[in-house]
Amino acid sequence: MSIRRTTKSRRVVAAVSLTAALALAVTGCGADDGGGKTKDAGSESSSTPSKPSDGDKGAKQEDTAAGDNVDPNVKLAEARGQNGVTLIINQVKRDSGGFVTVQGEIKNGSDTNQPTGGWAGTEAGIVPQNPNSVAGAALIDKVGKKRYYVLRDTENRCLCTTGILPLQPGKSTSVFMQFPAPPTSTTEVDFTLPTFATTSLKISG
C-alpha cells in the first residue's frame, strides 16, 4: 500500500514539476521579447526622443533656414559688391530658438564670371571649413556695441550657405546666414559681408 502511494506521489510531483517548467519557459520567452523591445535603441528613440545636442540643433537650423518661404520679390535692403555683383536681402527674421536668420540673393550683373571665395572671410580656423561660403558675414549692433558673427556647429562649420560656385554673367544664387539674436530691444543692425558695402537691416519677429 505504501509503495503504491509513494509511486503515485512521485508521479504527481513529476507532473507538477513539468507544468512549472513549461510555464517558466513560456514566461521566459515573453520576457525576452519584451526585453528586446525595451533595449532596442531604435524603439526607444522613437518613443522617447533624446535631447538634441548643439551640433544637431545647428544641422536642423541649417536645413530649415534656406526654405522656400522667402518671397524673392521682397527687397529689404541692397548691398553693392565688386565688379557688378549685388546682394539683395529678402528676409531678416528673429527665430524662437534665439537666432536671427538673414536670407537673400547674390546676383552677378557683370559680363564675366565672378569668384565667390572672398565671402568666406579670413577668420583663422574658419575658412578651411567653409570655402566658397558666406561665413564672413556679421551683424553689428551699434546701440549695444556688439558684433555678431555667423554661428558655427561643433565641427566649426558655419550655419550658412556653403559650396557656392563662381557666378556666371547674369546668374544669381540664394544665400542664408544664421546669427545669435541680439536683445529684443534691438530692431535694427548693420550687415557686413566681405567685398560688399555695409547695409542697414531691420529685424522682424
Predicted pLDDT at 9: 45
Strand bridging mode 99-108 / 85-94: antiparallel
Task: Taking residues 59-69, report their average pLDDT.
Answer: 47
Is the confidence at residue 2, as pLDDT, over 50? no
Residue pair 171/108 in contact by the 8 Å Cβ criterion: yes
79 forms beta bridges with 87
**The predicted structure's pLDDT at residue 68:** 53
Residue 72's pLDDT band, with cuts at 50, 70 and 90, is confident
pTM for the predicted model, two decimal places: 0.66
pLDDT at 118: 92
177 contacts 194 by C-beta, under 8 angstroms: no
Mean pLDDT is lowest, of 28-42, 106-120, 162-176, for 28-42
Residue 100's pLDDT is: 97
pLDDT > 80? residue 174: yes
Whether 79 has a pLDDT exceeding 90, the answer reads: yes
pLDDT value of position 108: 97
pLDDT of residue 66: 53
In the three-class reduction of DSSP (H, G, I as helix; E, B as strand; rest coil), residue 163 is classed as: coil
Q: Mean pLDDT over residues 69-79, rounded?
A: 87
Query: How far is it, in rounded angstroms, from Cα 93 to Cα 189?
Result: 12
Reported as a single tens digit per residue, the pLDDT across 118-138 is 999 887 666 677 889 999 999
